[in-house]
A and B are shown apart, each in its own frame.
Chain A
Amino acid sequence: MTLTDAELERYSRQLVMPEWSGAAQERLRSAGAMVIGAGALGCPAATYLAAAGIGRIGVVDDDDIELSNLHRQPLHLTPDVGGRKAENAMVKLGFLNPEVVVEPFPARLEDLNAEALLAGADVVVDCSDSFATRYLVNDTCCTLGIPLVEAGVLGLSGLVLSIRPGESACYRCAFPVEPPAGSVPSCREAGVLGAIGGVLGSLQALEAIKLVTGVGEPLCDRILQFEGATAAPTVIATRRRADCPACGDLVRPAPTAAAKPERV
């Protein structure tokens, strides 16, 4: 499985990075990501995953594109208003990188379909906009053992956390108490600046790339919080909880089991 001439040229600026390698590029190409939500986080996350050369992307979103989405969801352009987000994301990502197989799932992730939608993914990127979905994605990834990148944005701030189920803290370990419905304002109520979605969604793509290639150190057991108003990043340590209902029963592998990058 070697890289074609067109791939060498397309990816040349990352293939020259000392941290990267042909093997890393091939691992990325053989990986599939499920991106939950094609909104403020999902647009940049899917864009950078496709641009970097991930093999497959599934986009789960049942929303239609509205004019009020465009300020923060840069895969959706003004002529696309009224179309479906998942299908439009497939079209635009195909323009960006036809080497990537993009599959749209115009569905809402729910208890009944979560396992079927996520099974087989090498990494899940949760770009959803509700706590209920976030906990469901987390719990399903723990059940299936799929690495996961969680993030959320509101107003001028956001956070991101990478999860290796059974190895590092899951979303429920870090945030054990689900906020009661209505207690945290939504984007619709509190607003969000599009560029914050760009920052956090791009970080999600970066984390997903690290998780599937073994390059770098993912944000496992560390929550990165970014306050856009002051441009202040904060890293908060977190850890697994033995009594976590999502991942507490998963076996902890030996500390040496973590995938390490192969150096050139």
Chain B
Amino acid sequence: MTSAPPASRELDLTGVPCPLNWVRTRLALEAMLPGQELVVRLDSGEPRESVPRSAREEGHLVREDAEHVRIVRR
């Protein structure tokens, strides 16, 4: 079985402080299937530093560009 659903979700967490932004990210990932991608918008500064770090620590694949953090659910 290699047909992981490619569907992705977007989550705008600008204005949401730490650690509530990671709580929401985590719950969104929990509701997704492995291989699905969550695209998150975050405030710069602490949110852009800590949410990707937390996601990596839990074993998800994380890619970042200027505007988004893309997390592939493990």
Residues of A at the B interface (CB closer than 8 Å) are 3, 8-9, 12-13, 15-16, 18, 21-23, 264
Nearest-Cβ distance from residue A261 to partner chain B, whole angstroms: 12
Q: A18-B57, A18-B58, A264-B58 are in contact. Are A12 and B23 (CB under 8 A)?
A: yes
Q: A264: which B residues are within 8 A, CB to CB? A: 26, 29-30, 58
A sample of 18 more A-B contacts (CB under 8 A), given A12-B20, A18-B58, is A3-B27, A8-B20, A8-B23, A8-B24, A8-B27, A12-B19, A13-B19, A15-B26, A16-B19, A16-B22, A16-B23, A16-B54, A18-B57, A21-B26, A21-B30, A22-B27, A22-B31, A264-B30
- Inside 8 A of B57's CB, which chain A residues have their CB? 18
Secondary structure at chain B's binding surface: helix, strand, loop or mixed?
Answer: helix
- The chain B residue with its CB closest to the CB of A20 is B26
B27 CB, min distance to chain A CBs, angstroms = 4
Q: List B residues 21-59 near A (Cβ within 8 Å).
A: 22-24, 26-27, 29-31, 54, 57-58
Residues of B within 8 A of A15 (CB): 23, 26-27
* Chain A residues positioned under 8 Å from B30 (CB to CB): 21-23, 264
Assembled-state Cα–Cα distance A242/B30 (Å): 42
- Give min CB distance, A94 to chain B, whole Å: 25
Query: Contacts A8-B20, A9-B20, A264-B58 known; A16 to B26 CB distance under 8 Å?
Result: yes
Q: Which residues of B contact A23 (CB under 8 A)?
A: 30
Question: What residues make up the interface of B, taking CB atoms closer than 8 Å to A?
Answer: 19-20, 22-24, 26-27, 29-31, 54, 57-58
Closest to A2 in B: B27
Closest beta carbon of chain A to B39's beta carbon, Å: 18
A203 vs B23: C-alpha distance when bound (angstroms): 26
Q: How far is the CA of A23 from the CA of B54 in the complex (A)?
A: 19
Q: How far is the CA of A209 from the CA of B57 in the complex (A)?
A: 25
Collect the chain A residues with CB atoms within 8 Å of residue B26's CB. Answer: 15-16, 21-22, 264
**Cβ of B46 to closest chain A Cβ, rounded Å:** 14
What A residues does B27 contact at CB under 8 A?
Answer: 3, 8, 15, 22
Identify which of B20, B29, B58 gathers the most chain A CB atoms within 10 Å of its CB: B20
Nearest-CB residue, chain B, relative to A9: B20
CA distance A202 to B21 in the complex (A): 29
Residues of B within 8 A of A9 (CB): 20
Chain A residues lying within 8 Å of B29, measured Cβ to Cβ, are: 264
B60 (CB) vs chain A CBs: closest residue:
A264
* B57 CB to nearest A CB, Å: 7
Task: Tell me the complex Cα distance, A103–B54, Å.
Answer: 39
Q: 7 nearest interchain CB pairs?
A: A22-B27, A15-B23, A264-B30, A12-B23, A16-B19, A22-B30, A12-B20
Bound-state Cα–Cα, A94 to B73, Å: 38
For the complex, give the distance between the alpha carbons of A16 and B23 in Å: 6
Neighbouring A residues of B20 by C-beta, 8 Å = 8-9, 12
Complex A-B: 6 CB contacts under 8 Å: A8-B20, A8-B24, A15-B26, A21-B26, A22-B26, A23-B30
Closest B residue to A21 by CB, please name it.
Answer: B30
**Within the assembled complex, what's the spacing in Å between the Cα atoms of A69 and B45?**
50
- Distance in Å from the Cβ of B31 to the closest Cβ of chain A? 8
